[in-house]
Homo-oligomer: A and B are copies of this chain.
Amino acid sequence: MPTSREECRRMDAQDPLAFARERFFVPEGVIYLDGNSLGCLPRSAPARMADLIERQWGKDLIQSWNKADWIGMPQRIATRIAPLVGAAEDEVIVADSTSVNLFKLAAAAIRAKAPRRVVLSERGNFPTDLYVLQGLERLLNGAVELRLVERSVLMDALDESVALIAVTHIHYKTGEIHDMAAINARAHKVGAFVLWDLSHSAGAVELSLNRDDSDLAIGCGYKYLNGGPGAPAFLYAARRLQDNLEQPLSGWMGHAAPFDFTDEYRPAKGIARFLCGTPVVLGMAAFEEGLKTFDGVAIAEVRAKSIALGDLFLRLAEERCGAEFRIACPRDGKTRGSQVALTHPEGYAIMQALIAEGVIGDFRAPDFLRFGFAPLYTRFVDIWEAVDRLAGIMSRRTYRAPRFQTRAAVT
């Protein structure tokens, strides 16, 4: 492990993923450790978007639905996600938002498992996941019971009353990783479905949805997948389940023959039945460019570098900032996502001071400083610099920032 800025530079020079950084516009003078909130701009995106806007929209107009295959985007773009999550191409589709996709799959799962009614999740799960499940519970008024338990007893709570367990693979604050294969196995043993939220996983860690016998998953496009602000989300449904699942947001794009304009909904065969409305073409195109940054990239190398970056950050933070912070993420890289978390009562003020010095991480209430590492563009020297500035702030106590504002950045 490097013990100087120079050694970090040397590691960057030897990094087998170094070529990938050239695929991004990384702003000058900024150490960006928030790719887990919004991935950097792919260099190919501006030209792609200009062509989409000026030629495909401006000149070809409505004909681009066929000519530029806008209509095929949800499935075409998904073929780039499938290998990143260990799924077959026809098991993934791009649509809507993570929240909307969670609703679709949770509702479909509950329906398939009736009369079971329990949806199991974890306290402190990412809020929108809980909120959407609560929405489903209220809507179905007695047909769903949301059961929230502490993370430590999640496995034990998986009994034969459970229709669905819906959890986030990598915790958004702590970075803890659930054992996907183990939870799937335990759930299947009691006859429950598992729905994984991969928002903090896809593009950052190795995933093997098929090999781990996963049922359902959703994930975010704008984090490690570099799809741009508010990018469309994706969802996965195992092929063995697809034709037995009915999702309630049965808009025309999920119809077997949307342009027949019949009055009766008839779900498409396969993954397309999970589509709802018209695809948001601008967001889709940017997402496609984001995914191209993974061309020729081995996820095993991404993961290895991610662990090394996280280990380095934690070791340096302990060496340089000593007892200032509590480390609030796993120390073992194998059970930690591509992020680290430190806590401090003045966390918000410290993060503001860091941002003022050009290190962009983020803050999560009440006291979490979160730093994310996107191995395609985060360098070892960035970690060195970030901790160096953090140590400076802590030693000079230059973090008198205003109180946490609630209207903060999007995770």
Contacts and interface: CB of A to CB of B under 8 A. Distances in A.
Interface of A: 25, 27, 30, 32, 34, 37-38, 40-41, 45-46, 49-50, 53-54, 56-66, 70-71, 96-100, 103, 107, 111, 123-125, 127-128, 130-132, 134-136, 138-141, 143, 148, 222, 228-233, 246-255, 257-265, 276-284, 286, 355, 360, 362, 364-365, 406-410
Contact of A250 (B25, B107, B134): B134
A265 B71 contact: no
Given A111-B139, A261-B364, A365-B261, A278 B130 contact: no
A249 B97 CA distance: 11
Nearest to A247: B135
Contact of A123 (B64, B247, B263): B263
Contact of A263 (B49, B148, B410): B148
Nearest to A108: B139
Given A62-B362, A99-B253, 6 more contacts: A38-B61, A62-B360, A127-B255, A127-B262, A135-B248, A230-B278
**Copies of this protein, total:** 2
Contacts of A409: 62-63, 65-66
Contacts of A62: 34, 37-38, 360, 362, 409-410
A277 to B, nearest CB: 3
A279 to B, nearest CB: 5
B251 A131 contact: yes
30 contacts: A25-B54, A27-B58, A27-B60, A32-B61, A45-B53, A46-B53, A46-B58, A49-B49, A49-B282, A53-B228, A62-B360, A62-B362, A70-B410, A127-B258, A128-B251, A128-B253, A130-B264, A130-B265, A131-B251, A131-B252, A131-B255, A132-B249, A134-B264, A135-B250, A228-B281, A228-B282, A230-B283, A257-B406, A259-B407, A282-B286
